[in-house]
Amino acid sequence: MDVRLWTYLLVGATFALYIGIAIWSRAGSTKDFYVAGGGVPSVANGMATAADWMSAASFISMAGIISFAGYDGSVYLMGWTGGYVLLALLLAPYLRRFGKFTVPDFIGDRYYSKFARFVAVVCAIFVSFTYVAGQMRGVGVVFSRFLEVEVNTGVIIGMVIVLFYAVLGGMKGITYTQVAQYCVLIFAFMVPAIFLSFQISGNPVPQIGMGGEYQGEGVSVLDKLDGLSRELGFDAYTDGKKSVLDVFCITAALMCGTAGLPHVIVRFYTVKKASAARTSALWALLFIAILYTTAPAVAVFARINLLKTVSETSYSEIPDWFRNWEDSGLIAWVDKNGDGKIQYLGDGAALGSMPGDPKFNPTFRSDDSGEPIRGTSGERLLDNPPTSAANELYIDRDIMVLANPEIGQLPDWVIALVAAGGLAAALSTAAGLLLVISTSVAHDLVKKTFVPDLTEKSELILARVAAGAAVVVAGYFGVNPPGFVAQVVAFAFGLAASSFFPAIILGIFTKRTSMQGVIAGMLAGIGFTGSYIIYFKFINSSAELWWGITPEGIGTVGMLLNFVVTIVVSRFTPAPPAEIRDLVDRVRLPRAAFGEEDAGPVDH
C-alpha cells in the first residue's frame, strides 16, 4: 500500500476508536459532562492529562521550532516541562480538595464574588480560544498533506470529529478518548524517532543518539549539524541569539502559564480524592517526559536530513516528499538566479524564513481549472514571490515532525502513523479546550452568575450548545491563525500566566487576598499582556520591544504586574470573611489537622 492508503487506514481506524469510546462513555449528567463523574483512575487520568497537555504544539511544532531556532527553541522545552512540575506540586492537590468543576468556579467561591467569577470566565475563554487556534491549525496542516485536501477542508473535518465526541461525551467521553489518543500519539512520535536515531547515529535510543557519533565519521551529531549550518551561512545550531532576560521571561511565562491553564487544571477534578490528583499528576509527568526528552533529538535529526537533502540540489532531482509538501502550500521554492538549483542559505536571516521577509506566506499560482502553474524547472509558481536576499526556500516550521519520516525515507506505514499521531495530539487538546469554554459559559457564566435556578438538564443542553458554537469559532481561527502552532500556543500560556496563576496561588496560600485585589490584578495582568501581544505582533511588529522581551515572554511581566496589583489592592480593601479564611486553611492544611480523612472536597 502507498502512503495515502496507509493514512486512510490508520487515521480512519483511530477516528473510529475515538468515536466508539465517546458513544460508550457518553455523559448522562452535568457531573459526567464536567468532571467525568469524579471517579477516573489515576493512571488513566495521567494518560488523559498527558494527551490533553501535549497538544499539536508539543507533537507537531515544538520539535519544528527547535529544529529551526536551535538553542533558542529550548525555552519551549524548559518552560512546558518545568510548568508541569510546578502544577503537580503547587496546585493540583489543593484545587482537587476545593472540589469545584472549573477555575472560574474556584475564583468565584474563593473570592466570594460573582464579578470575580465573571472576570475569570472572560479570561478562560480568551486563553482557551487563543490556544485552540493552534490546535485547529495543526489539524489543518496534517490533513492538507496526508489526505491531500485544502487546509480549510482539513480544519472542517477536524471540527466535525471534535464536535461529535466532545459534545456527546463531555469530560467523561473526552477522558477515555484521550487515553487512547495518548497511546496513539506517543507510539507515532517514538517509532520514527527510533528509526532516525539508528539511521543517523547507529543507536536506537534517540536521547542517546543525539549525543552520539554521526554515522561513524568520528564527529558528534551536534558538531556535524553545527558544521552544516555554518557552511550554509546559518548560525551554529547550538548557539543562541536571544537575550538572557528574554529567555528567562519566555521560560517563566510558559511554566506559570502551564500551571494556570484551565483545561489542564480541570483534569484534577476527575479523580476520587486529593491524593489521587497528586498521583495522577506524577503519572502524567512520566508520560509527558517520554515525548519531551525525545523532541530535541527529533529536531536535530530533522535539521540534518533537511540540510543534506535540499541544499544546492537541482529541483529536477528533488525527492518526492518535497513536491508532496509543496502541493500542500507549506513549502515554497523561488528560483531567483535561474540555475534550477535550490539555494537554502542563512544570509543572516532567521532559520527557515525568507530573509528579510519572515512573515512570508506563499500563495501558489493556478490556472482557471485550479491546476498549478509551474516554472521552467517544474516548480510551482507563486503569486507573491519574495524579492529580497539570496535564500530561495521557504519551509513552514510546523511540517518538520510530519515530514521527517519522508525526509528520512522511512516506510510508508510510519509516515501514516505520524499523521494519525499529529491528529490525536491536536484533537485531544482541542476537545479539552472546547469543554473549558462550554463549561465556562454554561456553568460559571449562566448558572452561577445569571440564572442560579437553571435545571441540570437545561445546563447540560446549554453546555453542549456552547461547545458547538465554540467549535465554529475555533474553526475560524484554524483557517486564519495568528502564527505558527507553537507561537500561538505560547501566547495562550502568557495570557494564562498573567491572569490565572497569581489568582490561584494567592487564593491557596494566602488568606488576606481580597476579591477587589484579585479582580484588579487579573484585569491588569491580562490587559497588559494581551495589549502587548496585539501591538507588537499584529499592529506594529517592527517597533522596538520593551526591554527586549518578545510577545511570547511578556506574560511574565504581566504576571508580576498581576501579583503587585492584587497584593497592593488587597492591603487597602477589607479582608475576606472569616468563613473564607477558614476555607483556605482547610484546602491547604492536611485533613488530619481537622480530624478528617482525605476522601473528597472540603465543605464550603
Whole-number percent of the chain with pLDDT over 70 = 85
Joined together, the cell numbers standing for residue 136 give 485547529
Would the pTM of this model clear 0.85, i.e. be above it? no
Kindly state the cell numbers that stand for 210.
543525539
Q: What is the mean pLDDT of residues 245-258?
A: 91
Give which of 232, 406, 233 is closest to 311, Cα–Cα: 232
What is the predicted pLDDT for the residue at 594? 44
Of 361-370, 391-400, 485-494, which gets the smallest average pLDDT? 485-494
Kindly tell me if the per-residue pLDDT of 34 is higher than 60: no
* Dihedral sign from CA coordinates of 519, 520, 521, 525: positive
Residue 536 has pLDDT above 70, yes or no: yes
Does the pLDDT of residue 455 top 70, yes or no?
Answer: yes
DSSP for 318-367, written as a single string: --HHHHHHHHTTSEEE--SSSSSEE----TTSPTTSBTTBTT----B-B-
Phi, psi of 366 (to 5 degrees): -135, 160
Rounded mean pLDDT, 485-506: 82
**Mean pLDDT for the stretch of residues 194-213:** 91
Q: Smallest Cα–Cα separation from 421: which of 93, 51, 153?
A: 51
- Tell me what the pLDDT averaged over the chain comes to: 80
CA 302 to CA 32: how far, in whole Å? Answer: 42
Residue found by looking up cell 519531551 in the block: 292
Give the pLDDT confidence score for residue 357 in this predicted structure. Answer: 43
Q: What's the pLDDT at 165? A: 59
Share of the chain above pLDDT 90, in %: 19
User: How many other C-beta atoms can be found within 10 angstroms of the C-beta atom of residue 535?
Assistant: 13
- pLDDT over 50 at 358, yes or no: no
- Does the structure show a pLDDT above 80 at 351? no
Query: What is the C-alpha separation between 311 and 347, in angstroms, rounded?
Result: 14
Confidence of residue 553 (pLDDT cuts 50, 70, 90): very high
Give the pLDDT confidence of 380-390 residue by residue, as tens digits.
888 776 655 66
Residue 393 belongs to what H/E stretch?
strand 393-395
**Is a pLDDT exceeding 70 seen at residue 579?**
yes
Cell numbers standing for residue 416: 501514516
Which three-class secondary structure state does DSSP give residue 213? strand
How far is the C-alpha of 545 from the C-alpha of 547, rounded, in Å?
6
Which pLDDT value is given to residue 349? Answer: 40
Most confident of 166-180, 288-302, 336-350: 288-302
Is it the case that residue 40 has pLDDT exceeding 80? no
Residues 47 and 216: beta-carbon distance below 8 Å: no
What pLDDT digit, counting tens, does each position of 390-448 carry? 678 888 777 888 888 888 888 888 888 888 888 777 777 777 777 777 777 887 778 87
pLDDT at 250 (0 to 100): 93
Query: What pLDDT sits at residue 401?
Result: 83
Nearest partner of 307 among 224, 415, 238, 379, judged by Cα: 224
Q: Tell me the pLDDT tens digit for each residue of 55-90.
A: 777 887 788 888 888 888 889 888 888 887 887 777
* All domains in the chain, ordered by first residue: 3-301+412-485 (1.10.4160.10), 303-324+332-400 (no CATH)
**490 vs 550, which has greater pLDDT?**
550
Instruction: Collect all residues with Cβ–Cβ distance below 8 Å to 589 and sequence separation of at least 6.
Output: none
CB neighbours of residue 254 within 10 Å: 29
Coil/strand/helix, residue 510: coil
Contact of 555 with 257, CB cutoff 8 Å = yes
Q: Say yes or no to pLDDT of 30 above 70.
A: no
- pLDDT beyond 90 at 178: no
Question: Does residue 1 carry a pLDDT above 70?
Answer: yes
3-state secondary structure of 125: helix
- For residues 88 and 261, give the distance between their C-alpha atoms in angstroms, rounded to a whole number: 13
